C-alpha cells in the first residue's frame, strides 16, 4: 500500500485527497479507515525524508521508485543510483576539529559518526549553527573516564583529530581529573561478615558454597557480600559456621521464632502545632449558648414572641443602635422587633454579641443558635423583664 501511494504521487497526485480518489478508483475494495491512515502517514514520512518536496516527487524519490533497492540495505559496495544522486546534495563529513585555548572545540561542519560520538563523550555542546562549539570541562572528562576512557586515550584522540595543538590548560585539566578519578570507590553490598579469625575469613572466600554471595575483602577480618543478611546466615550455616546477626551499632540481634520476618516500617511523623487563640466572637457565642442552655434546663425559658407582639415600641435607628450597644456592654438580653424579607414583623429575644458592618450578631432564643440581623430591619428594642 505504501509503494502504491508513492506510485500515485509520481503519477501526478499532489494531495492526500488526490491520492485517496485515485486509489478508490483503482482499488475500490480497499476503501477503509486504515487505508486513509496509511495514505496520510506515508505522505508525511515521504516529505520528512525528502522523497517528496512541495507535494512533488523529488529526484531521489523517483530514483527510489525506479530501482529495485527499496529500503533494504545493499550487500554490494558499488554506489547505487540513489547514492549517486544524494552525494552531491549532502555536505562531506569532516574528520577533524579545532581545539581552542579557552577549553572549547570547534567543529567547522558535520562530523563523522565516530568523531561526533567520541567528541560528545568528552565535551558538551555549547552552541550550534554553521559551526558547532563544544565545551570541555571537568564533568565532561569525568564522564569519559566513567565510560572507560583513560587519560592517554583522551590525549591521543585529540592529537589525531585536532588540526591545532592541544593547549596547555587542557593538558593540565586532563591530568588533574585523571589523578582524582577513582580515588573514592563506591560499590553495592547487601551484607557483611566480620570475624577476628583470618583463617575463617579465608575459608569463606575459598568455599564454593559461598561463591554466589561474591565475597570481597574490605579490610582484615571484614568481607562484603552481595546478598541479604538472611541469605548470608543460611549460607554460612550450610558451610558449618555458627554466625550471628549484627545490628548497625555492633550489638547482636536477638531473633525469636515468632518474630516478624519483615523489618518494621518506620512510623510516619506528624507535625503538631500549638493551639491557636480562639476568636473572641466565638468565645462570646459559646458563652451565650451555654447560658441559654442553663436557662432552658432550669425552666426559665422566656415567653415566645407572639405573646408580646406589639409591645416593643418603634424607635429611631440611632436609639436602636445605642440600646443594643448598651445591652452588649451590660451583657443583657433584650427584645427586638425584626422585619423579615416579606415585610412581616416578628419579635425576638436575643443576647447581642457584636455590631459590625451594618449587622448585629446575637444569640436567638427562638432558634437557639447564633444568627446575624440587619440593623436596618430592627424596628425597636425593649428590655427583657426576666434578664
Residues 335 and 292 in one domain: yes
- When comparing pLDDT for 238 and 12, which is higher? 238
Same domain flag for 42 and 85: yes
Which tens digits make up the pLDDT trace of 281-295? 677 767 766 766 666
* Domain-embedded: residue 332: yes
Inter-residue contact 105 to 137 (CB < 8 Å): no
pLDDT tens-digit series, residues 156-183 = 999 999 999 999 999 999 999 999 998 8
Packing angle of the helix pair 138-146, 113-122 (nearest 10 deg): 120
DSSP state of 103: S
For 359, the grid coordinates are 449587622
Domain that holds residue 214: 191-239
> Is the residue at 247 inside a domain?
no
Give me the number of domains the chain comprises: 4
Contact 225, 193 (CB under 8 A): yes
> How does pLDDT run across 333-370, given as a tens digit for each residue?
888 888 877 777 788 888 888 888 888 888 888 787 88
Same domain membership, residue 214 and residue 165: no
Amino acid at each position: 500500500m505504501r509503494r502504491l501511494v508513492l506510485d500515485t504521487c509520481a503519477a501526478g497526485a499532489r494531495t492526500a485527497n488526490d491520492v485517496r480518489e485515485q486509489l478508490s478508483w483503482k482499488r475500490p475494495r480497499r476503501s477503509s479507515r486504515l487505508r486513509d491512515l496509511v495514505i496520510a502517514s506515508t505522505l508525511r514520512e515521504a516529505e520528512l525524508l525528502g522523497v517528496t518536496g512541495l507535494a512533488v516527487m523529488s529526484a531521489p524519490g523517483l530514483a527510489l521508485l525506479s530501482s529495485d533497492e527499496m529500503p533494504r540495505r545493499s550487500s554490494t559496495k558499488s554506489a547505487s543510483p540513489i547514492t549517486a544522486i544524494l552525494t552531491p546534495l549532502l555536505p562531506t563529513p569532516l574528520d577533524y576539529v579545532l581545539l581552542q585555548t579557552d577549553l572549547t572545540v570547534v567543529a567547522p561542519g558535520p562530523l563523522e559518526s565516530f568523531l561526533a560520538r567520541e567528541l560528545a563523550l568528552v565535551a558538551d555542546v555549547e552552541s550550534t549553527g554553521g559551526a558547532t562549539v563544544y565545551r570541555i570541562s571537568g564533568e565532561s572528562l569525568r564522564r569519559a573516564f566513567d565510560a572507560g576512557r583513560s587519560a592517554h586515550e583522551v590525549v591521543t584522540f585529540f592529537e589525531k583529530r585536532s588540526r591545532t595543538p592541544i593547549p596547555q590548560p587542557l593538558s593540565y585539566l586532563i591530568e588533574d581529573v585523571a589523578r582524582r578519578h577513582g580515588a573514592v570507590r563506591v560499590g553495592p553490598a547487601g551484607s557483611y561478615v566480620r570475624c577476628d579469625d583470618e583463617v575463617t575469613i579465608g575459608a569463606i572466600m575459598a568455599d564454593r558454597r559461598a561463591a554466589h554471595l561474591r565475597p570481597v575483602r574490605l579490610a582484615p577480618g571484614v568481607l562484603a557480600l552481595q546478598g541479604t543478611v538472611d541469605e548470608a546466615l543460611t549460607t554460612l550455616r550450610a558451610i558449618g559456621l555458627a554466625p550471628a546477626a549484627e545490628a548497625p551499632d555492633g550489638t547482636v540481634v536477638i531473633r525469636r521464632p515468632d518474630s516478624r520476618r519483615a523489618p518494621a516500617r518506620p512510623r510516619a511523623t506528624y507535625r503538631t502545632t500549638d493551639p491557636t487563640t480562639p476568636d473572641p466572637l466565638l468565645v462570646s457565642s459559646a458563652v451565650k449558648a451555654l447560658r441559654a442552655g442553663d436557662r432552658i434546663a432550669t425552666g426559665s425559658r422566656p415567653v415566645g414572641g407572639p405573646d408580646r407582639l406589639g409591645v416593643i415600641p418603634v424607635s429611631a435607628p440611632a436609639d436602636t443602635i445605642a440600646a443594643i450597644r448598651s445591652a452588649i456592654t451590660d451583657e443583657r438580653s433584650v427584645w427586638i422587633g425584626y422585619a423579615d424579607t416579606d415585610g412581616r414583623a416578628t419579635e425576638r429575644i436575643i443576647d447581642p454579641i457584636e455590631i459590625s458592618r451594618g449587622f448585629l450578631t446575637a444569640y436567638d432564643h427562638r432558634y437557639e443558635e447564633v444568627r446575624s440581623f440587619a440593623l436596618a430591619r430592627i424596628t425597636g428594642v425593649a428590655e427583657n423583664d426576666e434578664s
